């Protein structure tokens, strides 16, 4: 895990420098007392120290053994990417084509990616998760869900 923590520490150090720089654009102190940038500045400083501590620990400390599931195989990353992509697609499509069509597509895609269910099982779950859930939430629970350009 040595390189992983060295890399993470350096990313956090960059973040600390950036936040510190941005916080200086805000007022550090006002006539009333600490300003909007006061807390952020000190937090960025503490984050910088902690990031440096993480890097030093990783470089000079006893190396931590890497858990076996730290890195996945290609298929694992593909599935992670597919789920993340499905969520992003849902965000982009939800208000355009509506809840029912979006969720049907999300369920269909994710189920096909993650499992080995039959097409019929996938279709039934996708229909229940989209049209069925819409009916329950909108009709029974009065929770408004978006309707898209096709009226669905």
Contacts with other proteins, residue ranges (CB under 8 A): 4-5, 8, 12, 19, 22, 26, 29-30, 32-36, 38-40, 43-44, 46-47, 50-51, 53-54, 57, 61-62, 67, 69-70, 72, 75-77, 79-80, 82-84, 86-88, 90-92, 94-95, 103, 106-107, 110-111, 113-117, 121, 125, 129, 133, 137, 141-146
Smallest distance from other proteins to CB 57, Å: 6
How far, in Å, CA of 152 to CA of 142, rounded? 17
Smallest distance from other proteins to CB 59, Å: 13
The CA distances from residue 3 to 7, 62, 86, in Å, are 6, 13, 31
CB closer to other proteins, 124 vs 150:
124
CB closer to other proteins, 38 vs 152:
38
Smallest distance from other proteins to CB 151, Å: 18
How far, in Å, CA of 112 to CA of 128, rounded? 16
CB closer to other proteins, 141 vs 151:
141
How far, in Å, CA of 21 to CA of 7, rounded? 21
Q: Extract the tokens encoding 43.
A: 């937090």
Query: Do 37 and 28 meet the contact criterion of CB atoms below 8 Å apart?
Result: yes
Smallest distance from other proteins to CB 119, Å: 14
Q: Extract the tokens encoding 42.
A: 């000190």
What DSSP character marks residue 116?
A: -
CB closer to other proteins, 33 vs 151:
33
What's CA 112's distance to the chain center, in Å? 22
Query: Do 97 and 28 meet the contact criterion of CB atoms below 8 Å apart?
Result: no
Smallest distance from other proteins to CB 14, Å: 14
């Amino acid at each position: 895990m040595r390189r992983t923590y060295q890399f993470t520490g350096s990313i956090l150090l960059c973040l600390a420098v950036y936040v510190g720089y941005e916080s200086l654009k805000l007022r550090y102190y006002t006539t009333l007392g600490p300003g909007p940038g006061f807390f952020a500045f000190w937090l960025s400083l503490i984050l910088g120290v902690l990031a440096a501590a993480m890097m030093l620990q990783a470089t000079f400390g006893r190396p931590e053994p890497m858990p076996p599931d730290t890195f996945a195989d290609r298929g694992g990353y593909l599935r992670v990417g597919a789920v993340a992509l499905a969520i992003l697609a849902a965000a982009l499509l939800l208000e355009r084509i509506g809840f029912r069509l979006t969720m049907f597509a999300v369920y269909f895609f994710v189920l096909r990616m993650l499992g080995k269910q039959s097409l019929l099982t996938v279709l039934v779950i996708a229909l229940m998760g989209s049209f069925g859930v819409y009916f329950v939430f909108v009709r029974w629970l009065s929770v408004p869900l978006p309707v898209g350009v096709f009226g669905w």
